[in-house]
Amino acid sequence: MSHAVVVEEPGRHRLVPHAPAAPGPGEARVRVHAVGVCGSDRELFRGNRPAEYVRYPVTPGHEWSGVVEAVGEGVPEALVERGAVGEGFRNCQVCERCHAGDTTLCTAGYEETGFTRPGAMAATLTLPARLLHVLPDDADLTAAALLEPAACVAAAALKAGASPGARVAVVGAGTLGLLAVQILAAGSPADLLVVGLDREREGLAREFGATDFRLCDEPLPDDRDVVIEAAGSVSAARTAASLLRRGGRLVLTGIPAPGAQGLDPTDLVVRQLEVRTVFGATPAAWAHAVRLFAAGLLRPRPLVTHELPLGGFEEAMDLTASGDPKVGKVLLRP
pLDDT band at 264 (very low <50, low <70, confident <90, very high): very high
| Distance in angstroms (rounded) separating the CA atoms of residues 171 and 240 | 6
The amino acid sitting at 267 is D
Three-point CA angle 30, 64, 45, nearest 5°: 115
The alpha carbon of residue 62 and the mean position of all alpha carbons in its chain are separated, in whole angstroms, by 9
Q: For 197-216, how does the pLDDT look when each residue is reduced to its tens digit (9 = 90+)?
A: 999 999 999 999 999 999 99
pLDDT band at 164 (very low <50, low <70, confident <90, very high): very high
pTM, two decimal places: 0.95
Three-point CA angle 198, 45, 281, nearest 5°: 70
pLDDT band at 256 (very low <50, low <70, confident <90, very high): confident
CB 47 within 8 Å of CB 10: yes
Q: For 45-68, how does the pLDDT look when each residue is reduced to its tens digit (9 = 90+)?
A: 999 999 999 999 999 999 999 999
Angle at which helix 283-294 crosses helix 147-160, to 10 degrees, equals: 110
**What letter would DSSP give residue 327?**
-
Cis preceding-peptide flag for 60 (omega within 30 of 0): no
Radius of gyration of the chain (CA): 20
The DSSP code sequence of 60-108 is ---EEEEEEEEE-TTS-GGGTT-EEEE--B---SSSHHHHTT-GGG-TT
| Distance in angstroms (rounded) separating the CA atoms of residues 241 and 292 | 28
Q: Please count the other Cβ atoms lying within 10 Å of the Cβ belonging to residue 101.
A: 12
Tell me: pLDDT of 163 over 90.
yes
Q: Could you give the C-alpha distances from 283 to 62, 80, 179, 204, in angstroms and in order? A: 15, 21, 18, 28
Tell me: pLDDT of 260 over 90.
no
Q: Could you give the C-alpha distances from 39 to 45, 127, 221, in angstroms and in order? A: 10, 23, 30
Return the SS3 of 281. coil
Residue 257: per-residue pLDDT? 77
Tell me: pLDDT of 167 over 80.
yes
**Within a 13 Å sphere around the CA of 269, how many CA atoms are in the beta-carbon half?**
3
Q: For 126-135, how does the pLDDT look when each residue is reduced to its tens digit (9 = 90+)?
A: 999 999 999 9
Tell me: pLDDT of 258 over 80.
no
Provide the strand spans (E) within 197-311. 212-215, 224-229, 244-252, 274-277, 304-309
Q: For 267-281, how does the pLDDT look when each residue is reduced to its tens digit (9 = 90+)?
A: 999 999 999 999 999
